[in-house]
Every structure is written in structure tokens, then in C-alpha cells.
Chain A
Amino acid sequence: MNANNFEMNSSVNRRRFFLTGGFAIATTTLLAACGKGAQSPKGEYPRIGEVPPTTGLPNGEPNDEVLLRTATSLEFNAIDTYKKVLALGLFTGSSAGTAAVVNRFKADHEAHAKALSGIITEAKGETFECANEQINKLYINPALDLILGNSDAGIEPSDTPLEDVMALALGLETLAASTYQFYVSMLSQPKLRAAAMGIGEQESRHAAVLAQAINPGVAGIGPSTNKDTGKPNPAAVPGAFGSLGTIAVTVGKRSEAGTKTTLNMETPSLNSMAFEYAKCS
């Protein structure tokens, strides 16, 4: 007898055992897969418990109309946010002049939305004249909660709401500018690319004005780093080329360590676009 208790010359040796066992397992698996046994009357895989039925989204292509609808939705995000910000009554005293800037930016976004809707209508498309829900959900609502507080979520209001509102506005304007720049590579027609960047360029100017308001003077024009946090300071001209990278917005009540919460914004991608099947609610 060897170490495995199988006689090497026996009819049931180790090699034959594996061959026979393997064949039996393979055969059983094959029969189970092909069979329509009592446990799967509809030919479905058996399961335990109830699974709610799901309905998949219709297919959507990021064509010119969808890109312009999405850009319009971002304009409405900005319009709605500026309306909320103006209603807070933060722009008083030495900040009273900022209200005029915010009002001008809001008016610009209204003009941009109208221009985009005009292009869509002219091309026999369907306009999308409301804010992008996904952008609200992912970026704007969390930012406003951090600034204004949300007792249900246990979030205390910011101790520097005006500073944070300006940071959010800078983030939104930068996001809008980056979105138009990004969509240039996706729009099929040159005239639409130019129309998009004509608006995107104005969003860039908004961002530069806000950056100078937050970090004024020559020191706030080019890129610089905050010595305390190690993070980039707001800059009117942060680089030679328009960036498509993540946009960091730092807002909220300072922690004991002196830090605020940073939200990272990104240009609307496939999961945030106003596809043709999307409707304003």
C-alpha cells in the first residue's frame, strides 16, 4: 500500500478515481444547465425571495442636441443657484457691490440659456429648460447644505457663508466653462463648436472676476499655493490652457483642525446628460 492508501495496481487507483469523479461532476453540471426541472418552471435560474422588476433606461446617444440640452441645463443650475444666493441676503455692507456682479452673472446665464434654446429650436430639436438634476444632487445641493446647514443631516452651517458662496460660484462658473470646452470635441458641426465656446469664454471671464474677488491683486492672477493648506489658491488665470480636470470647491464649517469640506466637481458625462428622453419635471 502506498501513502495514499491506493494500490497502484488496483482497478480503483488514484488516476482512475480522478477521471471518473471529474466525468461525473461535468456530466451533472451539463445536465443541470440544460434541464428545465421542476425547480425552474419558466426556464429561469432559481432564486430565493422577491426581486422587484427593473426597467432599463432607453438608449441615448450624446449627439449635438443632447450636448446642447445638457449645456442649457447647466445654465439653469447657475441661474437657480444665483437666485438662492441672492435670496440669502449676504451681500450687505462692504459686500453690497457683489450683488450687482451676481445679478449680472445671472442675467448672462439667462441669455446663454436662451441662445442655446434658440439653436436647438432652429435645428428642430426639443429644448430642455430646467436645471440638471444630477448636477444639483451631486454638487450644488451638498454644497448649499454645507454652507447653510442641514439639521436633518446633522450638518452645521458654515461660519463663513459669504466666502463659501463665492467659492461655490467660482466652482460653478469654472464647471460651465470646462463643459463647453469639453463638448467642443463631441459636437459634430464647427458652427456649434464656435457657438458653444462663445458662451464658454464668457463663463471663463466670470470665473476670472470671481477669482479676483476672492484672491485680489497681482498675486491672485497666476497660480499659487496656500501655505497653510497646501492647496491651490483661487487664480484668475490658473494655467495657459483651459483645464478639463476636477474642480475642487472648499466650503462648510471649519473642523477643529481648521479644515473645510472639499467637493470635487466634474463636467457632465454620460450619466448626467439631458438625453432626448429626459423631461423637465
Chain B
Amino acid sequence: MSAPTTTAPPKQPTKSDIAILQFAHGIELAMTALYTKASAAAGKDLKVVLDLFGGHHLAYAQSLAGLLGRSAATTQNASFYTAFLSAASSGSDAELAGTFLSLENSLVKTHLGVLGTITGTDGAQLIASIISVQGRHAAVLASLAGKKGLGDILDNAAEPLDSKTYPA
């Protein structure tokens, strides 16, 4: 392996970390709002799940806001929210679950990209703890979407979200 570095990585987000984490924060705020919309359109059982997962995304947004302090995004990512509002607020329960399955998979890939870029360890630890659970969200939503194959539940071929497609 390469020679170990003698300089410990920073704990707090660096300037370049902040811009990346702001994007993630805006996306998490939008996900919270999309889950709220979906919950209103879902059947009884799915509503329980969507409310639970929506609450998790709110917790992610709040944690990122705490990490970023005054640099936190002040509003949700409007372009992302608008792009998925229709799909997230209509359709059968299986279709709704399928929509959020693809969104959760995209968020996992997005956060993996964030993790591979930021240097501050506080942000890295938070993002890692989020990725771990969003993978679980996806596995559950795959079953609720009627996916039977193990590959549909375990594999993630989604593309990460980027700030060019979804500017804040």
C-alpha cells in the first residue's frame, strides 16, 4: 500500500466539502417532501412504510443541516422535487414503491459519490451511516414494488444524481 500519510484528515467539512454536502442536503429535503406527498396517495400498509422512511430522510436533512451550520441549504432541491412530484404522488402502491425504489437507489449512488469526494471525517461518517440505511430502504421497497428476483432487490444499477441535472 502507499506510504501512510502523517497528516490526519480534517474532521469538519472543508470548503469544497460544503458545496457537495449542500447538494446532498437539498436532495434530502426534497425526498422528505416527496415521501409526504406519496404518503397521502398510498394505501394503509404502504403509508406506514413511507411515513417511516420519510421520517428518516427528514433526520438526514436535519443532521446535514447540523453539520453544515450556517452553510446549510435553506430550501429543498426544487428541480429534483419537481422532476419526481408526479410519479411520487400518483399510481398504485406497487408503482409508488417502484418510484421510491429507484429514488433510494439513486440516492445511495449519489451519497457514495459524495463519500468518495469529501475529505472531512465528520461528514464522511454521517454519509456512511445514511448509505447503510438507504440500502435497506431500497431492499424493502423492492419487495413492496413486487420485485421477486434477488437481483432486483440486491443490485443497484441506478445512476447518481448530479447538480447539473438537478441544480439547487
Given A120-B1, A188-B5, A190-B118, decide whether A205 and B52 contact each other with a Cβ distance below 8 A: no
Minimum CB–CB distance from A191 to chain B (whole Å) comes to 5
Instruction: Indicate if A237 sits at the interface (CB-CB under 8 A).
Output: yes
Which one, A104, A108, A239, contacts B133 given CB within 8 A? A239
Given A104-B150, A185-B125, A190-B116, decide whether A240 and B55 contact each other with a Cβ distance below 8 A: yes
Q: Which residue of A lies closest to B117 (CB)?
A: A190
Contact check, A240 vs B56: say whether CB atoms are below 8 A apart: yes
Instruction: Encode contact with B along A202-224: 1 for CB under 8 Å, 0 otherwise.
Output: 10111111001000001001100
Contact check, A194 vs B59: say whether CB atoms are below 8 A apart: no
Count of A residues near B, CB < 8 Å?
A: 45
Stretch touching chain B among A43-51, A57-65, A86-94, A250-258: A57-65
Q: How large is the interface on B (under 10, 10 to 19, 20 to 34, 35 or more residues)?
A: 35 or more
Minimum CB–CB distance from A180 to chain B (whole Å) comes to 8
Q: How far is the CA of A101 from the CA of B148 in the complex (A)?
A: 12
Q: Which residue of B lies closest to A68 (CB)?
A: B1
Minimum CB–CB distance from A200 to chain B (whole Å) comes to 6
Minimum CB–CB distance from A281 to chain B (whole Å) comes to 22
Query: What residues of A have a CB within 8 angstroms of the CB of B60 in the complex?
Result: 240
Minimum CB–CB distance from A210 to chain B (whole Å) comes to 10
* Residues of chain B at the chain A interface (Cβ within 8 Å): 1-2, 4-5, 9, 45, 48-49, 52-53, 55-56, 59-60, 63, 108, 112-113, 115-119, 121, 124-125, 128-140, 143, 150, 153-154, 156
* Residues of chain A at the chain B interface (Cβ within 8 Å): 61, 63-65, 100-101, 104, 108, 120, 123-125, 177-178, 180-181, 184-185, 188, 190-191, 193-195, 197-198, 200-202, 204-209, 212, 218, 221-222, 236-237, 239-242
